[in-house]
Amino acid sequence: MLNQNLCQNHLQILKSFRTSLLWDQEYREGVEEDIFVSLLKILSKLQEELEDQGGQSVPLYIQLTAESFRAARNACVQSHRNQDLLRELGFIEVSLKILSLLLTQESSDSLSEPLGCGIQFLGNLSVGNQVCKDHIWQQTFPAILQRLLSVDVEKVVDFASMVLHNCLDEAKVEQLTQPQNLHLALRVMELCRTRPDQEWPLLIATKHFLKSSALVESMYTRMSPLERVTLLELLSAHLLEEDSESEECGIPPDVARFLACCFQKSCGAILTLACSSATSDEEARTVISLLDVLCELTSDRRRFMFLQKHPGLLQSTVELLQQVHALGKASKNVFSAAQNFSFSQSGDTTSSSPSVGFKAHLIRLIGNLCHSNISNQNKVRELKGIHLILNNCSLDSNNPFIRQWAIFAIRNLLEQNPENQQLVSGLELQGAADDSSLLDLGFQVEERDGTLLLKPVKKDS
């Protein structure tokens, strides 16, 4: 092959080499160095041929390039020796030159094979080999990786995401936080949003990005509201999947603090949903997603319960619940309580609103922040939040499970807090209307030895 003009017969030679010597691990480990030297010379010869074509795709050269990459790819499988050998011979540099040439050619279906095989080779070369990972990163970051992740071929992007995932570590993620490199991280997050079925971008985000408070903050600041929702949904999903008792969550405390601040700054955007003339709900959706994440972070996760002391978070949440509740009472809008529990999509204009469940989640967050925290329990009482929660204990189709979250919040507000218990017990003295709210929550007031006690209602057998 090295001494002749490339022809169709050479394609079969490469296929035989790949299947006979490189398919089985025992044979792979025994391939001599000069064989790989010859394969590298073939790749270099193909590089020259592609350069001479001036951007025109020659089917034979494209096929030979793909087959050469397949051979190199197979040589690296479970072989640290071959990985090191191919790196030392210069396969990475030649392969990247060929990939760059292919990227400059006019897009066609035939190019997806050599591109995909070449990227797979880099991926296999990096598996379990830190020296190879660092070498590939040095040669591809950030420009080549960005180009590969932007190709309009799904499997090529998927393979490029695999290479990026294999190479990343804490130090490399730190490089992504630099302003000139942030576009690469944002591209990965865009893939998470536009191609949610691709596994590698999601793994990159959850296994690497979410563990860096600096990167999360940098990305969030540069993102559009829609992109922020994607990031926040990934955070929520990650929290739901992990063990709440585990200390290996990976999400740093500074991420929780940052998101709490973001919620406090932007939570007022949710109120625009009450206006039927609102042109966009993207900012409101971001607030909803922030609330979802905060609810998960404070759901009996000891490492994030410092959020109970986060300045102003509890007050902002109670005040937002007051505003949302008042808007729902003032006129019929997405925050008004509804009793439409049918499964029909017709007749209920609010069923598709992003505000569905928002009040229930506000109450959930208040309950979380007050769990075993006397100071926060007192703060909610001072803000008249206990009455507010009692007034939101009825069934509401716009807020599934709001009654259950209200019961949970009241339980946390009353636990070992005589002042709050006395306040709720005193509601019986104000008449049947207030007492019915307690009954809805499953409590009743009983006088014993001159003291009012709050007790759960006994259900009939």
Short-list 329, 310, 309, 332, CA closest to 321 = 329
What kind and span of H or E run contains 419?
Answer: helix 418-425
Q: Report how far Cα 343 is from the mean position of its chain's Cα atoms.
A: 30
Query: Which residue is listed with tokens 């109450």?
Result: 363
| CA dist., res. 425 & res. 405, Å (int) | 20
Helix 182-194 and helix 154-167, axial crossing angle in degrees, nearest 10: 130
Return the sign of the alpha-carbon dihedral for residues 251, 252, 254, 256.
Answer: positive
Beta bridge partners of 455: 444
Cβ neighbours for 419, distance < 8 A, ≥ 6 positions apart: 378, 381
In this prediction, residue 461 carries a pLDDT of 38
Residue 453 DSSP SS3: strand
Query: What single-letter DSSP state applies at residue 443?
Result: E
CB within 8 Å of 391: residues ≥ 6 apart: 325, 437
Element (H, E) at 455: strand 451-456
CATH 1.25.10.10 maps onto the chain at 1-167, 244-416
Helix (H) or strand (E) holding 445: strand 443-448
CB of 42 within 8 A of CB of 68?
A: yes
Residue 394: count other Cβ atoms within 10 Å of its Cβ: 16
Using alpha carbons, select from 153, 178, 28, 192 the residue that is nearest to residue 165. 192
What the block records as the tokens of 380 is 């909610």
Answer yes or no: are the C-beta atoms of 451 and 422 closer than 8 Å: no
> CB–CB of 189/183 below 8 Å?
no
Q: What residue has token string 């990650």?
A: 238
Please report where in the chains the tokens 């990031």 appear, as a residue.
231
Output the CATH code of domain 1-167.
1.25.10.10
Handedness of CA 420, 422, 425, 431 (dihedral sign): negative
Residues of the chain with pLDDT under 70: 54-57, 107-108, 243-249, 276-280, 341-352, 428-461
pLDDT given for residue 433 in this prediction: 37
Alpha-carbon distance of 217 to 368, in angstroms, equals 24
CATH no., domain 244-416: 1.25.10.10
56 contact partners, CB below 8 Å, separation of at least 6: 105
Distance separating alpha carbons of residues 291 and 361, to the nearest angstrom? 7
Q: What is the token pair recorded at 110? A: 């035939």
* Angstrom distance (rounded) from CA 177 to CA 419: 49
